[in-house]
Amino acid sequence: MTDNNNVLPAKNERAARLAQWGSALIAAVALAHWLPAAAQEGHPLKGSWLGTWESNEVHDEFVLLVLDWDGERITGMINPGTDNIPIREASLNPDGWVVRLEADAEDGTGDAVHYVIEGRIQNLELPNRSIVGTWQHEQGSGAFEVSRQ
């Protein structure tokens, strides 16, 4: 006659090990599914950015940037659809994540306005990161803050 007390613990241990392996397998599959999506975030500036450039009396206080990365250059537009200001120069220094944008526009009287926007990317690891800094042109300057949409 066999001792049933010795058989049950062995089955319970086997079931516990299988449950652990099953949980580990599920976690590995979930991680493998999530990692490629996180890795496809793309260039840190690519996308639409909405915010304010305070005290801007030439082009209002609200600003929309649409930025793109073609593999070599950062391109884009400031306030597309209303002001349509093309970004002439753009750079991103990964040492400190400093952004610099330059664009040429006209004020309401037709005078040239050269914008220089400088800021740092904040919350880089998040999809809705921000650029916080300053803007300036010949007629004024102020705080600048946009968040990616």
- This prediction's pTM: 0.72
Is residue 130 domain-shared with residue 62, that is, in the same domain?
yes
Is residue 85 domain-shared with residue 100, that is, in the same domain?
yes
Is residue 28 domain-shared with residue 91, that is, in the same domain?
no
- Report the pLDDT value the prediction gives residue 118, as an integer from 0 to 100: 98
Q: Total structural domains in the chain? A: 2
Q: Which domain holds residue 16?
A: 1-40
Is residue 107 domain-shared with residue 51, that is, in the same domain?
yes
d(CA 112, CA 134): 20
Is residue 84 domain-shared with residue 137, that is, in the same domain?
yes
Is residue 71 domain-shared with residue 92, that is, in the same domain?
yes
- Report the pLDDT value the prediction gives residue 39, as an integer from 0 to 100: 44
Is residue 79 domain-shared with residue 143, that is, in the same domain?
yes
Neighbours of 74 (CB within 10 A): 20
Interval 61-89 mean pLDDT = 95
**Residue closest to 111 by CA, chosen among 141, 89, 140, 138:** 138
**Residue closest to 47 by CA, chosen among 121, 148, 125, 124:** 148
Is residue 30 domain-shared with residue 72, that is, in the same domain?
no
Cβ-contact 129, 148 below 8 angstroms:
yes
Beta strands of 70-137 (E only): which ranges? 74-78, 85-93, 98-106, 112-122, 130-137
